[in-house]
Amino acid sequence: MNANGILREHWLHVAYHFVIDAIIFIVSFVVAAKVVLIEYQFAVRLMDYVPALLLGSFVFPCMVYIFGLYSPLSGKQRLMARSVILGACLALTAFMMLGLYYINKSTSIGRGVSLWGYAISFAGVLIHHFFILRALREQKERVAFIMTCTFDELEARFFQSLGTEHMELVGLIHYDDYKPIGEMRVLGKVSALQEIVKREKIHRVLCTSKSISDPAMCKAFCELRYSGIQVMPLVSLFEEVHQLVPLELITAEWLLTASALPHMLYIKKLKRGFDIVSSLGLLLVSAPVHLLGMMLVKLTSPGPIFYRQVRAGQFGRPFSVIKLRSMRVDAEKHGAVWSVQGKDPRATPVGAFLRKYRIDELPQLINILKGEMSFVGPRPERPVFVEELADQIQYYQERLMVQPGLTGWAQVNYPYGSSVEDAKWKLEYDLYYMKHMSLFLDLFILLDTIRIVIRGGMSAEAVDRLPRYEAIWFFRVLDGKENQ
């Protein structure tokens, strides 16, 4: 995206501020050590502090992300409320860093350096987040929309209710043979595109798939893009603003482009290494919880501790997923049944608790170590449901092109699905993940998973999802009208 725009590509924005907070944390403690320690102690002690500083510089921005302070929605937050949350994040980080004292006392940071370090860190990150808030509140991109027909004009009118509060629709640029009929400001004809963009100081040009693939417009669009002006179809705006891909806006060209974007080295090597390290680490950390869950299942209901079920893996290959049994043994005596959000009558009392906090999913770490699943990816579905949904939902088979995951972008944005419509919404999140998968995105999905587990559900996220429902519903209505 152009450097002038405030609405940067979402994950680039998050990663940028994540790294800045980590650097502020490290620099603050280096400055504190310089202030407190005498000259000959500084270099020696600073080397001892490295393990604690690396831990803190990772944990602190993770906490900030979990509390949602990198989200564009946080721009509505007051600075005082933000400062309280940042203070809490630093306190939690200090608590975790304290654990190093019991592992190796020589690596712990002294009280004097710690007090100065946390004070300077707080001041530094508060200044950083002040500028984040100011940027989110004050700066806006100036956007123009290219019109080819009446249908495009309907999309342009709806653009303003997309939740893009950091973008201002300046007006419409129309094809020479089309005259806009609405009340929005008309900037001129597309033949004068370069002049209009310069005159109106446009940062981004939105258009339909029809105009972006128009050979007559190719040269003009290329000149704009090389000048730093973003030219994009509305489906790309949806990806950027809401991090999902509406099925109604997908084209064959989009699918081919999306499947070529994920870096093959990450998919084949780094992602597998990330899976092994993450699953081994979580198996060690969660061992007490895992054992407690096994005991509760065994003591409170008759039947096996573990439950195995055939799921569709990458390219549709079947494998047996392992879970702690959360339901009665006869839960599916009449055949396969959809998962149910909230209270499932088939679940045991202990099983309902295990499902709420996703403890029943922990044995799937074994599937990850075996290479049958990834830590992050689309949820593995049962073959019988895959066949049913593929018949009713276009592009559903696309989600089988990557390994299924223990958690995923759809899982952290949408609750348990219990219908074909739910599966359609989740597919739109899965397609976004498949196009944008990366180590950073996987890390942020894990942090989102922690937040949801702590909250015990998706209630807060469901409220945040409502504008997306309205937006995509609009396009489904338009799609039906255009095809009549």
Give the residue extent of every domain in the chain. 10-138, 141-242, 264-482
Is the pLDDT score of 157 beyond 80?
no
Answering whether pTM is above 0.95, one says no
CA distances for 109 relative to 25, 46, 78, 86, 168, angstroms: 14, 9, 33, 21, 49
Cα separation, 49 vs 31, whole angstroms: 13
pLDDT grade for 20, boundaries at 50, 70 and 90? very high
Share of the chain above pLDDT 90, in %: 30
Looking at residue 190, what DSSP letter applies?
Answer: G
Quote the tokens at residue 285.
């950390």
- How large is the angle between the packed helices 271-285 and 287-300, nearest 10 degrees? 60
Give, for 312, the enclosing helix (H) or strand (E): strand 306-312
Average pLDDT value for residue range 160-175: 74
Residue 269: per-residue pLDDT? 78
List of residues 6+ apart from 416 with CB closer than 8 A: 339, 340, 341
Q: For residue 253, give the nearest of 237, 269, 235 by alpha carbon.
A: 235
pLDDT grade for 56, boundaries at 50, 70 and 90? very high
Is the pLDDT score of 261 beyond 70?
no
Is the pLDDT score of 163 beyond 60?
no
CA distances for 425 relative to 249, 298, 435, angstroms: 14, 36, 16
**Helix spans in 104-185 (H):** 111-138, 150-159
Residue 461: per-residue pLDDT? 46
41, burial (CB in 10 Å: exposed 0-12, middle 13-18, buried 19+): exposed
Question: Considering only 105-114, 287-296, 423-432, which range has the smallest mean pLDDT?
Answer: 105-114
Residue with tokens 């040269």: 219
Strands 230-233 and 306-312 turn out to be unpaired
Question: Hey, is 138 helix, strand or coil?
Answer: helix
Average pLDDT value for residue range 376-382: 93
Neighbours of 329 (CB within 10 A): 13
Is the pLDDT score of 443 beyond 70?
yes
pLDDT grade for 101, boundaries at 50, 70 and 90? low
User: Within its chain, how far is the Cα of 465 from the centroid?
Assistant: 13
Average pLDDT value for residue range 409-431: 86
Q: Do residues 342 and 417 make contact, with C-beta atoms less than 8 angstroms apart?
A: no
Neighbours of 237 (CB within 10 A): 20
User: Within its chain, how far is the Cα of 440 from the centroid?
Assistant: 10
Is the pLDDT score of 439 beyond 60?
yes
Cα separation, 437 vs 377, whole angstroms: 9
List of residues 6+ apart from 213 with CB closer than 8 A: 253
Q: What torsion, rounded to 10 degrees, do the Cα atoms 286, 287, 288, 291 define?
A: 120
Q: Do residues 212 and 231 make contact, with C-beta atoms less than 8 angstroms apart?
A: yes
Nearest-5° Cα angle at 53, 48 to 55:
115
Q: For residue 84, give the nearest of 72, 69, 70 by alpha carbon.
A: 69
Is the pLDDT score of 60 beyond 70?
yes
Q: In whole numbers, what is the pLDDT of the chain averaged over residues?
A: 81
Residue 481: per-residue pLDDT? 44
Q: Which amino acid is at 239?
A: E
Q: What is the CA radius of gyration of the chain?
A: 26
Question: Considering only 189-203, 279-293, 412-426, which range has the smallest mean pLDDT?
Answer: 412-426
pLDDT grade for 483, boundaries at 50, 70 and 90? very low
Residue 398: per-residue pLDDT? 92
Average pLDDT value for residue range 122-140: 87
Q: Do residues 408 and 449 make contact, with C-beta atoms less than 8 angstroms apart?
A: no
| Helix, strand, coil percentages for the chain (3-state, nearest 5) | 65, 10, 25
Residue ranges with strand state E in 350-389: 374-376
Average pLDDT value for residue range 410-422: 82
pLDDT grade for 403, boundaries at 50, 70 and 90? very high
Is the pLDDT score of 190 beyond 90?
no
Is the pLDDT score of 414 beyond 50?
yes
Cα separation, 369 vs 277, whole angstroms: 9
**Helix spans in 179-286 (H):** 193-200, 209-212, 215-226, 234-242, 252-260, 264-265, 271-285
CATH number corresponding to 141-242: 3.40.50.720
Residue 209 vs residue 269, higher pLDDT: 269
pLDDT grade for 463, boundaries at 50, 70 and 90? very low
List beta partners, residue 324. 306
Residue 396: per-residue pLDDT? 94
Question: Hey, is 331 helix, strand or coil?
Answer: coil
Residue 2: per-residue pLDDT? 37
Q: For residue 362, give the nearest of 278, 439, 304, 274 by alpha carbon.
A: 278
pLDDT grade for 85, boundaries at 50, 70 and 90? very high
Is the pLDDT score of 191 beyond 70?
yes
Residue 219: per-residue pLDDT? 82
Cα separation, 170 vs 141, whole angstroms: 9
